[in-house]
């Protein structure tokens, strides 16, 4: 059945009493798809709020043929495990930080280069532009279909239990949790810190039990994951920008009829743009909220942190690792880094 006749058939079947008279016919003719979407964030984070709206809009516009069920808070496993499930097709959709995705697609970490982006304007120009397109092209080579728009995680800040981070010196020997990603580990090693790779699903407990002294995440996550309950200081280091690629298992994506694919792409990408606005707005109000929740905030000068990375050879090392082409696209957008 072509897409057009399928749609016509569905409309007719739904609008007529034929549905009652011939139960099951519509199902036999037009397949329904029940896909899972996994992510590591709480239901209160804008990513889940906007994804839920998109799933509802998609179900409505496909007359229920495309159903997306959301599994928030790493319910199906931590990020490393969920990435394996996405590759196997056990999970159809997954939002993942490019830096963690880099354990499979190395160049996907490139937006996380320390202090690369000065502001959101530059982030969106770059990630919706040539560098983003290059990264999506690379992701596609691994049996994963990335949606066009990357969703916002945010500029990352540093939280700690015993003392605030005011300069690179405070990071020396600091036991900090980092997501599972070589770029993250390398950056904190360059600072002389003691990074430990831990999936987000275990971050709250690791901070609570003192396995690590601190962690780094955008304000929206510090708030929605209630990390303020187990951390005292929040240093506005803005040391990297991180986003979530909205990924689909390629085979499961290809199994969708073209008209359903375009409905899904349309609503997911539009939801991503709304989520970007939500996170930007939240960032404006969360500093005060976190203070009322007991955190002490400070805003250190970024210069000395950046100098430290430069003198430790961090930029030269990652320029070599990523290669001339993507590094050139990054520098074209943000200016010279090394
Ligand atoms: O694991 C994290 O810290 C998080 C939630 O920010 C990411 O997904 C990278």
What's the pLDDT score for residue 10? 45
Atom of ligand 1 at shortest range from CA of 96: 8
| Ligand 1 touching residue 217 (CB < 6 A) | yes
Architecture, CATH, for domain 30-334 = 3-Layer(aba) Sandwich (3.40)
What's the pLDDT score for residue 30? 67
| Ligand 1 touching residue 242 (CB < 6 A) | yes
- CA 88 / ligand 1 centre spacing (Å): 22
- CA 27 / ligand 1 centre spacing (Å): 39
Phi/psi of residue 101, each to 5°?
Answer: -60, -25
| Ligand 1 touching residue 200 (CB < 6 A) | yes
Atom of ligand 1 at shortest range from CA of 225: 5
- CA 156 / ligand 1 centre spacing (Å): 10
What's the pLDDT score for residue 13? 42
For the chain, the domains span: 30-334
**pLDDT tens, residue order, the chain (338 aa):** 444 545 444 444 444 444 444 443 344 456 799 999 999 999 999 999 999 999 999 999 999 999 999 999 999 999 999 999 999 999 999 999 999 999 999 999 999 999 999 999 999 999 999 999 999 999 999 999 999 999 999 999 999 999 999 999 999 999 999 999 999 999 999 999 999 999 999 999 999 999 999 999 999 999 999 999 999 999 999 999 999 999 999 999 999 999 999 999 999 999 999 999 999 999 889 999 999 999 999 999 999 999 999 999 999 999 999 999 999 999 999 999 98
What's the pLDDT score for residue 25? 37
- CA 239 / ligand 1 centre spacing (Å): 14
| Ligand 1 touching residue 221 (CB < 6 A) | yes
| Ligand 1 touching residue 157 (CB < 6 A) | no
- CA 24 / ligand 1 centre spacing (Å): 43
- CA 10 / ligand 1 centre spacing (Å): 41
SS (H, E, C) the chain: CCHHHHHHHHHHHHHCCHHHHCCCHHHHHCCCEEEEEECCCCCCCHHHHHHHHHHHHHHHHCCCCEEEEEECCCCCCCHHHHHHHHHHCCCCEEEEEHHHHCCCCHHHHHHHCCCCCCCHHHHHHHHCCHHHHHHHHHHHCCCEEECCCCEEEEECEEEECCCCCCCHHHHCCCEEEECCCHHHHHHHHHCCCEEEECCHHHHHHHHHHCCCCEEEECHHHHHHCCHHHCCCEEECCCCCEEEEEEEEEHHHHHCCCHHHHHHHHHHHHHHHHHHHHHHHHHHHHHHHHHHHCCCEEECCCHHHHHHHHHHCCHHHHHHHHHCHHHHHHHHHHHCCCC
């Amino acid at each position: 059945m072509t897409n057009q006749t399928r749609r016509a058939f569905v409309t007719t079947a739904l609008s007529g009493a034929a549905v009652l008279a011939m139960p099951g016919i519509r199902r036999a003719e037009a397949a329904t798809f029940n896909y899972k979407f996994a992510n590591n964030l709480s239901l209160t984070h804008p990513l889940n709020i906007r994804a839920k709206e998109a799933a509802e809009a998609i179900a409505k516009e496909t007359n229920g043929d495309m159903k997306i069920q959301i599994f928030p808070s790493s319910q199906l496993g931590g990020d490393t495990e969920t990435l394996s499930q996405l590759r196997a097709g056990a999970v159809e959709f997954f939002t993942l930080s490019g830096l963690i995705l880099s354990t499979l697609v190395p160049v996907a970490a490139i937006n996380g280069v320390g202090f690369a982006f000065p502001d959101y304007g530059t982030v969106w120009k770059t990630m919706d532009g040539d560098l983003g397109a290059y990264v999506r092209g690379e992701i596609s080579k691994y049996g994963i279909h990335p949606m066009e728009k990357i969703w916002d995680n945010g500029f990352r800040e540093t939280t700690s239990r015993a003392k605030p981070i005011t300069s690179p010196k405070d990071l020396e020997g600091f036991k900090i949790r980092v997501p599972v990603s070589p770029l993250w580990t390398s950056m904190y090693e360059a600072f002389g810190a003691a990074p430990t790779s831990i999936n987000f699903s275990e971050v709250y407990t690791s901070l609570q039990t003192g396995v690590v002294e601190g962690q780094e995440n955008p304000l929206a996550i510090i708030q929605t994951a209630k990390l303020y309950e187990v951390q005292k200081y929040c240093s506005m280091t803005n040391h990297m920008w991180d986003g979530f690629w909205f990924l689909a298992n390629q085979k499961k994506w290809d199994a969708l009829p073209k008209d359903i694919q375009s409905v899904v792409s349309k609503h997911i990408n539009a939801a991503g743009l709304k989520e970007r606005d939500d996170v930007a707005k939240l960032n404006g109000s969360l500093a005060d909220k976190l203070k009322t929740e007991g955190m002490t905030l400070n805003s250190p000068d970024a210069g000395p942190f950046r100098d430290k990375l430069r003198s430790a050879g961090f930029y030269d090392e990652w320029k070599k690792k990523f290669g001339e082409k993507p590094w050139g696209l990054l520098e074209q957008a943000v200016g010279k880094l090394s």
